[in-house]
Amino acid sequence: MGERAQEREHIEHGIAPVFDGRSEVLVLGTMPSPASREAAFFYGHPQNRFWRVLAALFDEPAPVTNGERTDLLLRHHIALWDVLASCDIRGASDASIANARPNDLGRILSAAPIRRVFCTGATSARLYGKLCEPATGLAAVKLPSTSPANAAWSLPRLVEAYRPLAAELSLFEPPVLDVPAVVDLEAAIAAAGTGLDELMERAGRFLAYEVRKVLEARVMDGVETVAVRPADDLQTGPRRSPAGVPTVIFCGNGNNGGDGWVAARYLDAWGFPVCLITATDASDLVAEPARTAALRAQASLGPASRVLLSPSDAEVAAALRGAPVAVDALLGTGFAHRTVRAPFDRWIAAINEARRQGVFVLAADVPSGLSAQTGESAATTVQADATLTMIVPKPGLFAPAGAAVCGFVRTAPLAYIEPFLKGARTHL
Ligand X SMILES: NC(=O)C1=CN([C@@H]2O[C@H](COP(=O)(O)OP(=O)(O)OC[C@H]3O[C@@H](n4cnc5c(N)ncnc54)[C@H](O)[C@@H]3O)[C@@H](O)[C@H]2O)[C@@H](O)CC1
What x-and-dash track marks residues 359-398 binding ligand X by CB under 6 A?
-----xx------------------------x--------
Residue of 328, 355, 386, 416 that binds K ion (CB under 5 A): 328
Any binding-site annotation on 312?
no
415 is an interface residue for ligand X by CB under 6 A: no
Residues contacting ligand X: total by CB under 6 A: 27
Residue of 57, 159, 340, 405 that binds ligand X (CB under 6 A): 340
Residue of 335, 347, 360, 416 that binds ligand X (CB under 6 A): 335
61 is an interface residue for ligand X by CB under 6 A: no
Any binding-site annotation on 368?
yes
Return the number of the residue (11 or 200) whose C-beta is nearest ligand X.
200
N residues, the chain: 428
HEC sequence for the chain: CCCHHHCCEEEECCCCCECCCCCCEEEEECCCCHHHHHHCCCCCCCCCCHHHHHHHHCCCCCCCCHHHHHHHHHHCCEEEEECEEEEEEECCEEEEEEEEEECCCHHHHCCCCCCEEEEECHHHHHHHHHHHHHHHCCCEEEECCCCCCCCCCCHHHHHHHHHHHHHCCCCCCCCCECHHHHHHHHHHHHHCCCCHHHHHHHHHHHHHHHHHHHHHHHHHCCCCCCCCCCCCCCCCCCCCCCCCCCEEEEECCCHHHHHHHHHHHHHHHCCCCEEEEECCCHHHCCCCCHHHHHHHHHHHCCCCCEEEECCCHHHHHHHHCCCCEEEEECCCCCCCCCCCCCCHHHHHHHHHHHHHCCCEEEEECCCCCECCCCCCECCCCCCCCEEEEECCCCHHHHCHHHHHHHCEEEEECCCCCHHHCCCCCECC
Return the number of the residue (54 or 364) whose C-beta is nearest K ion.
364
Any binding-site annotation on 257?
yes
Q: Decide: residue 339, CB within 10 A, 0-12 exposed, 13-18 middle, 19+ buried.
A: exposed
Provide the residue type at 173 as one letter. E
Any binding-site annotation on 255?
yes
Return the number of the residue (56 or 364) whose C-beta is nearest ligand X.
364
> Under rule CB under 5 A, which residues in 367-386 are in contact with K ion?
368
- Which residues face 410 on adjacent strands? 388
Return the number of the residue (268 or 328) whose C-beta is nearest K ion.
328
Return the number of the residue (60 or 328) whose C-beta is nearest K ion.
328
Instruction: Kindly indicate which of the ranges 56-64, 215-223, 269-277, 330-338 contains the residues binding ligand X, using the contact rule CB under 6 A.
Output: 330-338
337 is an interface residue for ligand X by CB under 6 A: yes
Return the number of the residue (119 or 331) whose C-beta is nearest ligand X.
331
Return the number of the residue (90 or 410) whose C-beta is nearest K ion.
410
162 binds, among ligand X, K ion, none (CB under 5 to 8 A by kind): none
Provide the residue type at 416 as one letter. Y
- Minimal distance in Å, beta carbon 281 to ligand X? 14
77: phi then psi, degrees, rounded to nearest 5: 65, 40
> Under rule CB under 6 A, which residues in 233-292 are in contact with ligand X?
252-259, 287
- Minimal distance in Å, beta carbon 272 to K ion? 20
> Under rule CB under 6 A, which residues in 181-200 are in contact with ligand X?
186, 196, 199-200
Residue of 11, 364, 397, 399 that binds K ion (CB under 5 A): 364
Instruction: Kindly indicate which of the ranges 27-35, 156-164, 302-310, 357-365 contains the residues binding K ion, using the contact rule CB under 5 A.
Output: 357-365
Return the number of the residue (43 or 335) whose C-beta is nearest ligand X.
335
Binding site for (6S)-NADPHX: residue ranges? 255-259, 365
**Where along the sequence are the contacts to K ion (CB under 5 A)?**
328, 363-364, 368
**Where along the sequence are the contacts to ligand X (CB under 6 A)?**
186, 196, 199-200, 203, 252-259, 287, 331-335, 337, 339-341, 344, 364-365, 390
